[in-house]
Structure 1
């Protein structure tokens, strides 16, 4: 898939395509209102367009990412409302049938990443964005709606499941993949080992896609 990707915008890779496959297999009905959080290049909005949604919205805090999403969807004739800002504030009060998220999730060395690292670093435990997403998901989802989020097992799969279920959502892992460490994880192997997140000599991380469903109105 050809995509415009300005400097500093997250490059679609294994986690993107794992989530894209989950979208294709999710059985999303036509006519859905779709939201992509942390859109980057807009690759997932492009994939979601094949479900024939009623509306599509994409949000990223990075101006270059918002521009890339706008261009990459527009050249394909996909009508997407692209906004730049904090996703959870930008769409506050709106409900969606499908929410897609490939947020930053790599455990980092600082609570507030800056520069290019904002595309992958998510606080010391890797959950700065994930925790907000889990807390906000019940408010973002329309009755019968679904969230699909991808992240590394290094960031706590059970924590994500527990938080989503705590919001009265039905949550489970729907896809997994083991992938070799990329440059970011290779550069901080010692840190991750010292934190107890990886074993000595570990060179592979597990990626997971978690699906969370909000019950339809009237569902017991």
Structure 2
């Protein structure tokens, strides 16, 4: 399918944008409206469930459902219902701008997506389009947005910005310098249209990776680089492809990232990466970064299987079952030839100045992470790198979101229990604990300082504080890094 022209959309005035935005708020076309559609046959690919979504939304009398059907799920609505949802004047404006088109039967459809996202509305191209289609917010965008710092950075760079989602979110939250860059000129133009639609000021520049911002530095760099493996002789959406394996573009982006970070800046990225035996992602990132003075952390959970990856990313732009069957086989053969048997779904965090560590942390789910959890972990890593005296004077506690339990296979209390920690949110993973670890965690949780925990643990062990000091410090450093412990900055050394 050919991309819809955007020249008329560029004519949207600020006053018209204000009126359209006010109407979208009035009829509650927000993420709750999308949630109604997402609740129908969840987990299935859109090609399978969209007919049911269309049917359910068309039977709902709410104006927001008509707008969701039209702008989120590529359905058709009658002109009468469209005018009721947007008002006749705004409906006429949408037709004039090319945001919607009329069919021979008088109904309207949209060649664009118009998605609500965290208080914004983002115009983008449908993912079924090929070529230079521009991506807007999706499920992974929400995952990454949850990880943004609670304190709004002064300057934010959105690399591969697509429709401008993260740069606009930063501007909406008060960043003084919100910049988006994309190699696709269409993306830059749509991002500028979205800035006007949302009444925000942001800068959008066309160019490859960091070339448009050469010489500038930022507090936060954020990106969702393309990460789908590019199979030979497969025509699919190029805006998804990250190279032969899928992670080459992301590695190139990350390697260049330190040069645009301020000394206290951070980079935050989301991608799916093939699991390569003997070459875990955090070490591939370290190799790509060379001797750049940054720390690398990867928070990962199992990604899609190669079979689902093949199905999901070849079905997007193919209309015939016969064509799909041939293409999905070629894609799957490509992954098999590369030896790819699994993928990881990962958040990558770069922290300068550093060079202290490269670490990979498996997490229960990326949905268990948020900006507070990431900030807490960064504080914990900071403390773990300090000298022994600072660590001994610090107040350390089990991280929020953990549940500790003694488990027995029988109610008989004479049976030795198994000690477990279960992670409900945050960086730590659920695990079994030794009796010694349980006792040490109890000492840490009840003492004002790590030094106090050393004294308590030494008494439990029948040893001197000097005898157990290094053991306790090693335990604290390890579990600060793994997210089981957190630095309580308001405590003794905070």
| Counterparts of residues 78-157 of structure 1 (less than 5 Å) | 78-109=200-231, 117-154=237-274, 157=281
Which residue does the alignment assign to 1:41?
A: 163
Which residue does the alignment assign to 1:202?
A: none
Contact persistence 2:236–2:314 (CA under 8 A): no
Which residue does the alignment assign to 1:69?
A: 191
Q: CA deviation at 1:121?
A: 1.0
Q: CA deviation at 1:127?
A: 3.3
Q: 2:349 aligns with which of 193, 203, 211?
A: 211
List per-residue Cα deviations over 1:146-193 (Å, max 9, x = no partner). Answer: 001111022762322543474221121246474564631673223112
Which residue does the alignment assign to 1:183?
A: 312
Aligned to 1:210, what secondary structure does the other structure show? strand
Q: CA deviation at 1:47?
A: 2.8
138 and 84 in structure 1: CA distance in 2 versus 1, 3 angstrom threshold: same
Higher relative contact order (CA 8 A, sep 6+): 1
Give unpaired runs (5+ residues) of structure 2. 1-115, 316-327, 355-381, 387-494
49 and 174 in structure 1: CA distance in 2 versus 1, 3 angstrom threshold: farther
Q: 1:3 aligns with which of 122, 126, 151?
A: 122
Contact persistence 1:59–1:84 (CA under 8 A): yes
Aligned to 1:4, what secondary structure does the other structure show? strand
Q: Greater share of helix residues, 1 or 2? A: 2
Contact persistence 2:256–2:289 (CA under 8 A): no
1:15 paired to 2:15: no
Write the distance in 1 (CA, Å) between the matches of 2:217 and 2:348.
Answer: 19
Q: 2:285 aligns with which of 147, 160, 163?
A: 160
Which residue does the alignment assign to 2:21?
A: none
**Higher Rg:** 2
Give unpaired runs (5+ residues) of structure 1. 200-204
Contact persistence 1:18–1:175 (CA under 8 A): no
The count of aligned residue pairs is: 208
Which residue does the alignment assign to 2:481?
A: none
List per-residue Cα deviations over 1:52-108 (Å, max 9, x = no partner). Answer: 211011011112211221122221122110111113211111101110111112121
Q: Greater share of strand residues, 1 or 2? A: 1
Aligned to 2:162, what secondary structure does the other structure show? coil
Contact persistence 1:38–1:102 (CA under 8 A): yes
Q: 2:178 aligns with which of 39, 48, 56?
A: 56
> What is the RMSD of the two structures over their aligned residues, measured on CA atoms?
3.0
Aligned to 1:3, what secondary structure does the other structure show? strand
| TM-score, scaled relative to structure 2 | 0.38
Aligned to 2:297, what secondary structure does the other structure show? strand
Contact persistence 1:30–1:54 (CA under 8 A): no
| TM-score, scaled relative to structure 1 | 0.80
